[in-house]
C-alpha cells in the first residue's frame, strides 16, 4: 500500500520500520529556555564584516550600517540571544579600541591574520541587538585583558549614574545604560584564551567575576569559561573551586568534527554521513557526563550548563581563506541541528543557554551573504521550525526507535522532542536520520487532548543537498501531510533524512 508523503515522495505505509513514542504530558514541569536557541557571532571571516556589517555608506540596504535582509531573517526565527565578540577573538579584543571616532587597528591573529579596523564595536553591536530584538551575550577578555578593563566594560554598558565610564558612553552618544545581563568571563581559557590550567582559571574567574558589578536593578548572569569536549577534569575543578554564588553558568564547547580529517561539507558519501551523525550523538553522551559532574557538586542545579559553541566543523570550501572557516551547509547539517536541539530540550533542567557556531558565513551557518545577496541554509530552516519550542513546557517522552545501521555500527534512527506552548498547543519535532528508509512513528498521546494535527517537513533528494545562490530553494520546509490522529494515537510517516515538526 502506498501513500503520497511530504514533497510528493511515495512511501510504502505498512512495511516501514516502526518507532513508538509515549508522551507524558502530566509530568511536564520544566521550561525549555528560548536561550537554548541562541547564536554566536565572532569577528571571524565574513561573519561580522559582510555578514551583518556593511557600513554606513554601503549600497546594500542597511540601517546604521547593519544589513536589513539579515536582520529581517533573524527576527523571523526570534533569535533569542547573540554571543559576541568571540570565540578566540574575545581574548585579544580590547573594547575601548571599538568606541568613538578614533579606532586603532589590530591584527586578528586567530582568524586569517587580517587587519581588524574596529569599525564594528560596542555601540554597533548593541544597535544590532536592538534591531534584532535579541539579548546580548558579551564575552570579556581574560586571556590578554585585565580585571579593570572588563569591569569598566560592564560599567560602560550598565551604569546609569555619573561615573567615568557612563560619562564616556554619553560622549559617544548614548545616554541610557543598556543593562546587559549575560557576560562570559573569557573563552576557551584552556586554549586560545590563555592556555591556563583549570585550577589557575578558576582563581582568575573569581577575580574577574568579583569586579563585574551589578548596577541598578540589573543582575548579571556570569558564565565561567568551560571545558573543551571531553575534558571532564576542567568541569570538575571549576565546579569545586568556584563558589556557586559567583557563577550563574558554566560553559562547554564541543564541535561535531573529526579533527584529524574534517572532510568536505558537501562531497561525501554514506560513510561520512554516518560518521558525522555518530559523532553528533557522541557529543550528547559527553554533555551527559559533564552534567553528572555538575549534579554531584550542585544537585539543586543553581549553575546552568551553557553550551555556547557547538555545530559541525568541516574543511573550508576550496579556494577560500583557511582562516575564515567558510563551509557549505547540507541536509546532514540540518539533521545535526535537529538532533542536538531535541537533546538540549530534553536536558532543559540544566541547559539554559546554547549557541550554535556561527550565525553567518562561518562554520554551521544559518545565513550566507555574497555582496547584496543573502541565502538561507538548511540549518536556518531548522531554527525556524523549532522556534515553537521557545519557552514552552517540555513534555517528557519515552521513545523506542529502530536502528539505522551502516557497516557493523548502528544508531537510533529517530529522535523526538515535545513541548506545550502558553496557548496549550503541543509541538513535536521528529528527526529521522536513516538516509533511505521512512519510519512509521506511533505516538500514544496519553493526556493530550488534540484532534487535529498539522506539520512541516524539511527533507531533500540527497544527503548532501544544499542551497546555493543559484538554487536557493533546494532544501526548504514544506507542508507535511503524513500525520493523522486516530483513537488517541498519532501516526506519522517520517520520511528518510528528514525533520518533521507537528502541531496538535
Ligand atoms: O568558532 C570558532 C572557534 O572555535 C572559536 O573562536 C573558538 O572559541 C573555538 O575554538
The CATH number of the domain holding residue 464 is 2.60.40.1180
- The predicted pLDDT at position 12 comes to 44
| Residues 367 and 444 reside in one and the same domain | no
| Residues 273 and 338 reside in one and the same domain | yes
| Residues 342 and 236 reside in one and the same domain | yes
What is the percent of the chain with per-residue pLDDT over 70, rounded to a whole number?
96
Catalytic position from the list 116, 124, 155, 309: 309
Peptide bond into 232 cis (omega under 30): no
Pocket flag, ligand 1, residue 357 (CB < 6 Å): yes
Task: Give the integer Cα–Cα distance in Å for 331 and 333.
Answer: 5
- The predicted pLDDT at position 56 comes to 96
Burial 298-322 (b: 16+ CB within 10 A, else e): beeeebbbbbbbbbbbbbbeeeeee
| Residues 354 and 406 reside in one and the same domain | no
Domain count, the chain: 2
- The predicted pLDDT at position 58 comes to 98
Q: pLDDT higher for 2 or 19?
A: 19
Q: State which residues form the domain around 383.
A: 34-391
The CATH number of the domain holding residue 241 is 3.20.20.80
Handedness of CA 195, 152, 112, 227 (dihedral sign): positive
Pocket flag, ligand 1, residue 87 (CB < 6 Å): yes
Catalytic (active site) residue 135: no
Give 436-473 pLDDT, tens digit per residue. 999 999 998 876 666 799 999 999 999 999 999 999 99
| Residues 217 and 170 reside in one and the same domain | yes
Q: Please report which confidence band the pLDDT of residue 9 belongs to, taking 50, 70 and 90 as the band edges.
A: very low
Pocket perturbation via mutation, ligand 1, pick of 46, 223, 253 by most ligand atoms within 8 A of CB: 253
Q: Is 400 helix (H, G, I), strand (E, B) or coil?
A: strand
Q: Which atom of ligand 1 lies closest to the CA of 193? A: 8
Cell 564541543, residue?
Answer: 254
Give 301-315 pLDDT, tens digit per residue. 999 999 999 999 999
| Residues 24 and 41 reside in one and the same domain | no
* Three-state DSSP string of 138-173: EEECCCCCCHHHHHHHHHHHHCCCCCHHHHHHHHCC
**Which of 391, 416, 446 is the last residue in one of the domains?**
391
Rounded to the nearest angstrom, the distance between the alpha carbon of 504 and the centre of ligand 1 is: 39
Q: Which atom of ligand 1 lies closest to the CA of 255? A: 4
- The predicted pLDDT at position 448 comes to 66
Count of alpha carbons within 13 angstroms of residue 411, beta-carbon side? 21
Q: Which atom of ligand 1 lies closest to the CA of 40? A: 1
Q: Please report which confidence band the pLDDT of residue 146 belongs to, taking 50, 70 and 90 as the band edges.
A: very high
Q: Please report which confidence band the pLDDT of residue 2 belongs to, taking 50, 70 and 90 as the band edges.
A: very low
| Residues 349 and 447 reside in one and the same domain | no
Rounded to the nearest angstrom, the distance between the alpha carbon of 319 and the centre of ligand 1 is: 21
Pocket perturbation via mutation, ligand 1, pick of 38, 86, 195 by most ligand atoms within 8 A of CB: 86
Rounded to the nearest angstrom, the distance between the alpha carbon of 111 and the centre of ligand 1 is: 10
Rounded to the nearest angstrom, the distance between the alpha carbon of 242 and the centre of ligand 1 is: 24
Q: Is the pLDDT of residue 89 over 60?
A: yes
| Residues 88 and 70 reside in one and the same domain | yes
Pocket flag, ligand 1, residue 308 (CB < 6 Å): no
How large is the average pLDDT for residues 143-153? Answer: 98
Pocket flag, ligand 1, residue 187 (CB < 6 Å): yes
| Residues 115 and 173 reside in one and the same domain | yes
Pocket flag, ligand 1, residue 86 (CB < 6 Å): yes
How large is the average pLDDT for residues 478-496? Answer: 94
Q: pLDDT higher for 7 or 312?
A: 312
**Which of 391, 416, 434 is the last residue in one of the domains?**
391
Residue 452, Cα to own-chain centre: how many angstroms?
31
- The predicted pLDDT at position 28 comes to 77
Rounded to the nearest angstrom, the distance between the alpha carbon of 139 and the centre of ligand 1 is: 12
pTM score, two decimals?
Answer: 0.96
| Residues 409 and 382 reside in one and the same domain | no
Q: Please report which confidence band the pLDDT of residue 430 belongs to, taking 50, 70 and 90 as the band edges.
A: very high
- Taking CB atoms within 8 Å and a gap of at least 24, the contacts of 95-103 are 95/121, 95/122, 95/141, 95/149, 95/153, 95/156, 96/149, 96/152, 97/121, 98/122, 98/124, 99/123, 99/156, 99/168, 99/172, 100/171, 100/172
Q: What is the mean pLDDT of the chain?
A: 95
| Residues 363 and 453 reside in one and the same domain | no
- The predicted pLDDT at position 14 comes to 57
Give 170-188 pLDDT, tens digit per residue. 999 999 999 999 999 999 9
| Residues 471 and 485 reside in one and the same domain | yes
- The predicted pLDDT at position 6 comes to 43
Pocket flag, ligand 1, residue 42 (CB < 6 Å): yes
Pocket flag, ligand 1, residue 143 (CB < 6 Å): no
Residue whose CA lies nearest to ligand 1 atom number 9: 87
Residue whose CA lies nearest to ligand 1 atom number 5: 87
Give 376-396 pLDDT, tens digit per residue. 999 999 999 999 999 999 999
Strands 62-63 and 66-67 turn out to be antiparallel
- The predicted pLDDT at position 10 comes to 41
Contacts of 97 (CB under 8 A, 6+ apart): 103, 104, 106, 118, 121
Q: Which atom of ligand 1 lies closest to the CA of 87? A: 6
On the 0-12 / 13-18 / 19+ scale of CB atoms within 10 A, 467 is buried
Q: Which atom of ligand 1 lies closest to the CA of 86? A: 6
**Which of 347, 367, 391 is the last residue in one of the domains?**
391
Q: Is the pLDDT of residue 222 over 60?
A: yes
How large is the average pLDDT for residues 264-279? Answer: 98
Q: At 299, list the grid cell.
A: 544537585
Burial 100-130 (b: 16+ CB within 10 A, else e): eeebeebebebbeebebebebbbbbbbbbbe
Amino acid at each position: 500500500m502506498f501513500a503520497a508523503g511530504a514533497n510528493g515522495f511515495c512511501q510504502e505505509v505498512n512495511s516501514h520500520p516502526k518507532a513508538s513514542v509515549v508522551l507524558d504530558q502530566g509530568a511536564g514541569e520544566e521550561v525549555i529556555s528560548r536561550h537554548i536557541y541562541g547564536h554566536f557571532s565572532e569577528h571571524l571571516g565574513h561573519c561580522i564584516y559582510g555578514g551583518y556589517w556593511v557600513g554606513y555608506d554601503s549600497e546594500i540596504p542597511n540601517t546604521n550600517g547593519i544589513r536589513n535582509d539579515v536582520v529581517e531573517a533573524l527576527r523571523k526565527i526570534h533569535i533569542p540571544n547573540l554571543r559576541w565578540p568571540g570565540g578566540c577573538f574575545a581574548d585579544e579584543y580590547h573594547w575601548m579600541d571599538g568606541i568613538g571616532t578614533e579606532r586603532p587597528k589590530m591584527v586578528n591573529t586567530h582568524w586569517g591574520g587580517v587587519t581588524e579596523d574596529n569599525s564594528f564595536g560596542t555601540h554597533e553591536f548593541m544597535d544590532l541587538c536592538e534591531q534584532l530584538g535579541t539579548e546580548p551575550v558579551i564575552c570579556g577578555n581574560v586571556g590578554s585583558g585585565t580585571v579593570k578593563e572588563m569591569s569598566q566594560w560592564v560599567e560602560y554598558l550598565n551604569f546609569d549614574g555619573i561615573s567615568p565610564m557612563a560619562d564616556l558612553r554619553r560622549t559617544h552618544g548614548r545616554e541610557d545604560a543598556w543593562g546587559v545581563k549575560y557576560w562570559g568571563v573569557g573563552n576557551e581559557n584552556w586554549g586560545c584564551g590563555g592556555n591556563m590550567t583549570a585550577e589557575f582559571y578558576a582563581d582568575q574567574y573569581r577575580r574577574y567575576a568579583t569586579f563585574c558589578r551589578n548596577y541598578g536593578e540589573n543582575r548579571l548572569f556570569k558564565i565561567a569559561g568551560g571545558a573543551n569536549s571531553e575534558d571532564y577534569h576542567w568541569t570538575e575543578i571549576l565546579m569545586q573551586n568556584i563558589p556557586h554564588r559567583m557563577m550563574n553558568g558554566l560553559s562547554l564547547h564541543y564541535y561535531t568534527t573529526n579533527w584529524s580529517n574534517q572532510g568536505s561539507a558537501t562531497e561525501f558519501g554514506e560513510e561520512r554521513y554516518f560518521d558525522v551523525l555518530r559523532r553528533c550523538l557522541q557529543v550528547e553522551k559527553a554533555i551527559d557526563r559533564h552534567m553528572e559532574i555538575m549534579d554531584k557538586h550542585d544537585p539543586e542545579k543553581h549553575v546552568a550548563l551553557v553550551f555556547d559553541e557547538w555545530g559541525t566543523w568541516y574543511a573550508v570550501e576550496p579556494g577560500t581563506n583557511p582562516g575564515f572557516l567558510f563551509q557549505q551547509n547540507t541536509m546532514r547539517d540540518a539533521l545535526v541541528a535537529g538532533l542536538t536541539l531535541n537533546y538540549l530540550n530534553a536536558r532543559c533542567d540544566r541547559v539554559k543557554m546554547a549557541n550554535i557556531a556561527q550565525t553567518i558565513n562561518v562554520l554551521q551557518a544559518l545565513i550566507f551573504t555574497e555582496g547584496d545577496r543573502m541565502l538561507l541554509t538548511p540549518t536556518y530552516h531548522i531554527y525556524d521550525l523549532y522556534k515553537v519550542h521557545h519557552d514552552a513546557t517540555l513534555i517528557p517522552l519515552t521513545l523506542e526507535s529502530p536502528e539505522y545501521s551502516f557497516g557493523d555500527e548502528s544508531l537510533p534512527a529517530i529522535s523526538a522532542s515535545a513541548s506545550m506552548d502558553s496557548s496549550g498547543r503541543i509541538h513535536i519535532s521528529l528527526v529521522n536520520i536513516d538516509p533511505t528508509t521512512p519510519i512509521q512513528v506511533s505516538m500514544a498521546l496519553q493526556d493530550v487532548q488534540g484532534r487535529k494535527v498539522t506539520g512541516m517537513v524539511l527533507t531533500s533528494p540527497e544527503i548532501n543537498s544544499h542551497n546555493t545562490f543559484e538554487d536557493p530553494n533546494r532544501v526548504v520546509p514544506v507542508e507535511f501531510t503524513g500525520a493523522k490522529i486516530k483513537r488517541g494515537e498519532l501516526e506519522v510517516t517520517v520520511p528518510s533524512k528528514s525533520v518533521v515538526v507537528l502541531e496538535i
